Amino acid sequence: MKCHKCDQKAVYKNQGLLLCKNHFLDYFEAKVFKTIKKYKMFSNEDTVCIAASGGKDSLAVLYMTSQYCKKYNINHFALAIDEGIAGYRDHTIEDLKEFCERYDIRLEIISFKEKFGSTLDQVREKALKEYNKKPCTVCGILRRTYLNRYALKLNATKLVTGHNLDDESQSFLMNTLLGNMRHNASLGPITGLTTNDKFVPRVKPLYFISEQETRLFCLLKEFKVDFTECPNIGLSFRANVRDQLNEIENKFPGAKNGMVNAFLEILPTLKEKYKETKPFSYCEKCGEPCTGKVCNACLLEEQLVVRKI
- Footprint on this chain of Zn ion (rule: CB under 5 A): 3, 5-6, 8, 20, 23, 283, 285-286, 295, 298
Nearest-angstrom CA–CA distance, 75 and 70: 8
To ligand SF4, the closest distance from the beta carbon of 48 in angstroms equals 23
Pairing verdict, β 281-282 and 289-290:
antiparallel
Using CB under 6 A, which of the segments 132-140, 170-178, 214-222, 242-250 binds ligand SF4? 132-140
Of 77, 100, 99, residue with least CA distance to 226: 99
58 binds ligand SF4, rule: CB under 6 A:
no
Based on the shown chain and the rule CB under 6 A, indicate whether residue 145 belongs to the binding site for ligand SF4: no
Residues 136, 159, 241, 300: which binds ligand SF4 (CB under 6 A)? 136
Cα dihedral angle (309, 232, 172, 182), rounded to 10 degrees? -40
Among 105, 232, 256, 296, binds ligand SF4 (CB under 6 A): 232
Query: Which of Zn ion, ligand SF4, none has residue 286 at its interface (CB below 5 to 8 Å by kind)?
Result: Zn ion
Asked whether position 233 contacts ligand SF4 by CB under 6 A, the answer is: yes
Count, residues near ligand SF4 per rule CB under 6 A: 9
Q: Is the dihedral of CA 9, 12, 18, 23 positive or negative?
A: negative
Selected binder of ligand SF4 within 139, 173, 203, 283 (CB under 6 A): 139
Please tell me whether residue 135 binds ligand SF4 under the rule CB under 6 A: yes
Closest approach of ligand SF4 to the CB of residue 6, in Å: 39
Beta bridge partners of 281: 290
How many CB atoms neighbour CB 247 within 10 A? 11
CB nearer to Zn ion: give 268 or 287. 287
Residue 82 C-beta: closest distance to ligand SF4, Å: 11
Q: Does 144 bind ligand SF4 (CB under 6 A)?
A: no
12 strand-pairing partners: 19
Q: Give the number of other Cβ atoms within 10 Å of residue 285's Cβ.
A: 15
**Helix 135-153 vs helix 296-304: crossing angle, to nearest 10:** 120
169 binds, options ligand SF4, Zn ion, none, Cβ within 5 to 8 A by partner type? none
Q: Bridge-partner residues for 82, per DSSP?
A: 111
Please state, in angstroms and rounded to a whole number, the distance separating the CA atoms of residues 116 and 128: 18
Backbone angles phi, psi at 40, to 5 degrees: 45, 55
Applying CB under 6 A, does 105 fall inside the site for ligand SF4?
no
Specify the residue, 6 or 177, whose C-beta has the smaller distance to Zn ion.
6
The span from the CA of 261 to the CA of 257, in Å, is: 6
Residue 115 Cβ vs Zn ion, minimum distance, rounded to whole Å:
12
Cβ burial, residue 46 (10 Å; 0-12/13-18/19+): middle
Partner touching 135 among Zn ion, ligand SF4, none, CB below 5 to 8 Å by kind: ligand SF4
Task: Report what 5 binds from Zn ion, ligand SF4, none; CB cut-off 5-8 Å by kind.
Answer: Zn ion
Please answer whether residues 84 and 112 qualify as being in contact, where contact means their C-beta atoms are separated by less than 8 angstroms. yes
Shortest Å, Cβ 296 to Zn ion: 8
